[in-house]
Amino acid sequence: MELSEKIAVVSGAASGLGLACCKAFLDRGTKVLALDVDEEALQVALGAMGDRVRLRAVDVASDGEVKVAIDGAREAWGALHIAVNCAGILGPCRTLAKGEVFPFDLWNRVIGINLTGTFNVIRHAAQAMASNELTSDGERGVIVNTASGAAWQGQVGQAAYSASKAGVIGLTLPVARDLAALGIRVVAIAPGLFETGMSAGMRKDVFDRAIHQTILFPGRMGQPTEFSGLVCHIVENTYLNATTISIDGGARVGTR
């Protein structure tokens, strides 16, 4: 699918991987519906981009908020062709620590944003895409979801995060099968360590160990532009579907 003159929705758009995707799309002539729970951060990051971007403060776990935002963009711009799910939180906590069990509210919040929120955007985006005219390749839309290397290599304290990201990988194939007859592709990306807000709070010893002991090459964290470049390639490459692509410098993560 060509990116120029298309309409995309990006969740988690105010920072990190989501912001990089918004900028990459705008650079390629795509209009963007930018969703994030932090309205102020959205304005700071994308407020100067003009009328080719619509900013909406949305909790992706809220069915009503996602539907209103997507319906509004479709009414304003006439279509929706691309959806990229980048909204997510870590929620680190051990299953049992000093006699205290993992808080159930925290578990539900991580699953609610990372997994349920992803599916929430998928289903409303798919509904909007279903009425698009077919492209020359027979496409109506492309959905890209953000999983994580933690889905396979979860570390201490990542039970909820890893479970949520494994769920994102797990839903990729059946949703792609559900939507294939409509001409909608679904692909997941599993990023490793990237320079984003999630990694910014790492202790120096943890950071150094992550870089020098886990990443084969190029011996650094990934850049958000490398992630957004892969997203753009997925949209443009019609033969990518129903799969999860790792982008992690060959990282193999230890227990901690």
DSSP secondary structure string for all residues of 106-120:
HHHHHHIIIIIHHHH
Which domains, ranges and CATH numbers included, belong to the chain? 7-247 (3.40.50.720)
Q: What does the alpha-carbon distance between residue 77 and residue 154 come to, in Å, rounded to a whole number? A: 40
**Strand blocks (E) in the chain:** 7-11, 31-36, 53-57, 82-85, 96-97, 100-101, 141-146, 184-191, 244-247
Model pLDDT for residues 77-134, shown as the tens digit of each residue:
999 999 999 999 999 999 999 999 999 999 999 999 999 999 999 999 999 999 999 9
| Predicted pLDDT of residue 184 | 98
Candidate list 25, 161, 194, 227, residue with the active-site label:
161
| Predicted pLDDT of residue 9 | 98
| Predicted pLDDT of residue 196 | 79
Low-confidence stretches of the chain (pLDDT < 70) are 197-213, 254-256
| Predicted pLDDT of residue 252 | 78
Shortest CA distance to 12 belongs to which of 227, 173, 170, 201? 227
161: annotated active-site residue? yes
| Token representation of residue 1 | 């699918």
Model pLDDT for residues 191-201, shown as the tens digit of each residue:
999 997 655 55
| Predicted pLDDT of residue 190 | 98
Shortest CA distance to 228 belongs to which of 179, 195, 186, 255? 195
Shortest CA distance to 188 belongs to which of 118, 111, 137? 118
| Predicted pLDDT of residue 210 | 59
DSSP secondary structure string for all residues of 72-83:
HHHHHHS---EE
- Full-model pTM: 0.94
Helix and strand counts by DSSP (H, E) for the chain = 10, 9
